[in-house]
Structure 1
Amino acid sequence: MNRFKHLSAASVEDAAASLRRLGPTAHVIAGGSDLMGCLKDNLWMETPTAVIDLKTIPGLNAIREDADGLHLGALVTLTRIAESQTVQSGWPGLAEAARRTGSPLLRNMGTIAGNICQQNRCWYFRYPDKIGGRIDCVRKGGQRCLAVPGDHRYHSIFGAVKKCIAVNPSDTAPALVALGAVVRTDRRAIPIDGFFSAEMGAQSTVLEHDEIVTDILVPHQGPGAASAFRKIAFRQSIDFALVNCGVALTLAEGVVRTARICLNGVHNNPYRCTGAEEALVGGALTEETAAKAGELAVAGAKPLFQNAYKVPMARALVADTLLDCAPAA
């Protein structure tokens, strides 16, 4: 690992000012489970010169519920979200997503803001510098995506964004998208549907370089609300998802009134299944309607030959996650 300066921020304003002063090779760190791997592998074309620690900022690790909904401070760990009775009772899909992220050790370290801000996964993009040097893929400013003609087993089944077919790896992201969360920073509130942006090169969000997430607001879901999360991975305890799914529904008298469905691990950004949502609204939630929604969720899929297995996997996962929201008989 190359040498870098380590600064402890006293406040969000202090951290943002340090980012502006130190320039684009400065990075913030919270739990560090993604950043430290990037630093060890010398991932970026420009070597980081400074790391600004956010854990020294007071007030960013609170979980509270008020009239607006659930407020999650940026530094709240995934373990606390998974174990919170407040989250489990009002937003069970989010609690389950946090519980299924990584290993217990990683959940103890990893924060909610870090989980949604981590960079996309691709073994060409993340190839360690110490093993033959960094690979100049399109995500790093190169001319082509090496995964398309190469090994793309775990890559996007919904096409490329600016030639890149890397996937968003977050487990909490699809749950937060399904729940209509709002990401709040030191300068604005960003509806989560507009937060993720693989169009911006190496980074995976719309955040400016000197912009810092302060908390995430998850609205109350209202009467008849239900949410669920499912994930398929090779090793259930620690692996990134092959496919995961977050669902939030509102039902009244057996009829679906609102529906939000989000897949991840299948595209550069978390993937809203709007066609499936529209088909559900106004009807009953049954095995047949859930299966139809699963079909519609992957209707736009354009898999490559090595990752075509993800299409039936995603189809079934959407149907199963929907049925998790069905009222108990």
Structure 2
Amino acid sequence: MRRFNHFDASSIEEAVSLLQEYKDASYVIAGGSDLMGCLKDNLWMEYPKAIINLKTIPGLNEINVEEDGLHIGPLVTLTELSECAPVKETWPGLAEAARRTASPLLRNMGTVAGNICQENRCWYYRYPDKIGGRIDCVRKGGKRCLAVPGDHRFHSIFGAVKKCIAVNPSDTAPAFVALDATIKTSKREIAIDEFFSAENGAGSTILEHDEIVTEIFVPRPQAGSASAFMKIAYRKSIDFAIVNCAASITVTDGKISAARICLNGVHNNPRRCETSEEALIGKLLSEELAAEAGELAVAEAKPLFQNIHKVQMSKTIVADTLMECAN
């Protein structure tokens, strides 16, 4: 790695001030499991001049269950979230999503905010600069997405954003979408449906450069609600998802009165399955209805030759996740 300035921030305000001082040549670090790889591989067009450490800011690593819901500090690790008894009991889909992320070592390091803010995954974009030199894909200033004519086995089945077909890699992101979370930052509160945006250059969220996540809020579920998360990966531990899915349903008088379903690993952003949700309302959950929801979830899919298998995976995982809610 090259040399850079390292600062231990004592407050959110100090961290924001440092980001503003160093502008685009600065990044924050929490767990560092994604950032350190980006630094070692010389990923970005401009190498950072400053890294601001958030772990020295007190009070950002707490999980608080209150009357209105779940308040998660941005520095809470994935292990802490997955093993928190109240989360496992009341928000099981979220606990399972955290448990299925990466390996035990990485879950001990990686933070919840880091997991939802990590950059999109593509082997062309992430190709190490030290191995044969930079590959200039469209995210690095090139003119085209190299995965389209190249190896796109794990890429988007719902088309491109700004010519790029890389997918969002987060496991916790679809769980937060399914649970209708709110992201609180140093500047504002952002509904989870508006938080992810592959339009924002190389980033995967709408966060501005000097904006820091300060809390993730998940509302308390209504009576009769259940949530679940499922993931398809080559290896159950460590691998990023080929496809993952989270769902939350509310059953009133035996019929579904509310539903939120989110797929990930299939598009640049976590993909809310709103047509599938609408098809569930007012009906009794059954295997046939769950299968119909799976079909609707991929009705607009336009896979490429090498990733057409992800369409069937997406159908199946939506149906299976809904049935897991029922269980």
Q: Which amino acid aligns with 1:204?
A: S
Task: Give, in angstroms, the shift of residue 136 of structure 1.
Answer: 1.1
Q: 1:225: how far off?
A: 0.5
What is the CA–CA distance in structure 1 between the aligned matches of 2:322 and 2:4, rounded to whole Å? 47
For residue 141 of structure 1, report the CA deviation from its aligned partner. 2.1
- What letter matches 1:78 in structure 2? L
Q: Deviations over 1:133-173 (max 9, x none)?
A: 11111112221100001100000000000100000000000
CA distance in 1, matches of 2:298, 2:67: 36
Give the 5 Å matches for 1:307-326.
307-326=307-326
Which residue does 1:93 correspond to in 2? 93
Deviations 1:276-322 (A, max 9, x none): 00000110100000000000001010000000000000100000000
Report the residue type matching 2:175 in the other structure: A
Q: Which residue of 1 aligns with 2:52?
A: 52
- CA–CA distance in structure 2, aligned partners of residues 135 and 6 of structure 1: 28
Task: Map 1:125-274 onto structure 2 (within 5 A).
Answer: 125-274=125-274
Q: Please list, as runs of the form range in 1=range in 2, the aligned pairs for 1:74-113 lying within 5 A after superposition.
A: 74-113=74-113
Paired letter, 1:71: H
What is the Cα deviation at residue 67 of structure 1?
A: 2.2
Name the CA distance, whole Å, in 1 between partners of 2:214 and 2:142: 33
Structure 1: gaps of 5 or more residues: none
Letter in 1 for 2:173: A
CA-to-aligned-CA distance 1:94-136 (integer Å, 9 cap, x gap): 0000000000000000000000000000000001000011111
TM superposition shift of 1:23:
1.3
Task: Give the 3-state SS of the residue equivalent to 1:237 in structure 2.
Answer: coil
Query: Partners of 1:177 and 1:224 in 2: how far apart?
Result: 19
Q: Using the alignment, how far apart are the partners of 2:134 and 2:254 within structure 1? A: 54
Residue of structure 1 equivalent to 2:279: 279
Q: CA deviation at 1:88?
A: 0.5
Is residue 94–residue 228 contact of structure 1 (8 Å, CA) maintained in 2?
Answer: yes
Letter in 2 for 1:302: K
Distance 2:159 2:22 in 1: 36
Match of 1:63 in 2: 63
1:163-202 CA distances to partner (integer Å, 9 max, x unpaired)?
0000000000000000000000011000000000001110
TM score, norm. by length of structure 2: 0.99
Give distance in 1, aligned partners of 2:286 and 2:108: 38
Q: Note the alpha carbon deviations across 1:217-245, whole angstroms, 9 max, x for none.
A: 00011100100000000011110000000
Paired amino acid for 1:252: T
Give, in whole Å, the separation in 1 of the partners of 2:234 and 2:118: 21
CA distance in 2, matches of 1:125, 1:254: 48
The 2-side partners of 1:138 and 1:68 are apart by 43
Q: Matched residues in 2 for 1:203 and 1:311: separation? A: 26
Give the letter aligned to residue 157 of structure 2.
I
TM-score, with structure 1 as normaliser: 0.99
Distance of 1:234 and 1:20 partners within structure 2? 41
AA at the equivalent of 2:114: G
Q: Distance in 2 between matches of 1:87 and 1:139?
A: 37
Distance 1:66 1:96 in 2: 21
Residue 253 of structure 1: CA displacement? 2.2
- In the aligned structure 1, how far is the partner of 2:143 from the partner of 2:69? 45
- Given that 1:140 and 1:201 are in contact with CA atoms closer than 8 Å, whether structure 2 keeps it comes out as no
Distance 1:96 1:288 in 2: 25
How many aligned residue pairs are there?
A: 327
* Off by >4 Å, runs of 4+ in structure 1: none
Q: Tell me the equivalent position of 2:35.
A: 35
Cα separation, 1, equivalents of 2:160 and 2:125 = 14
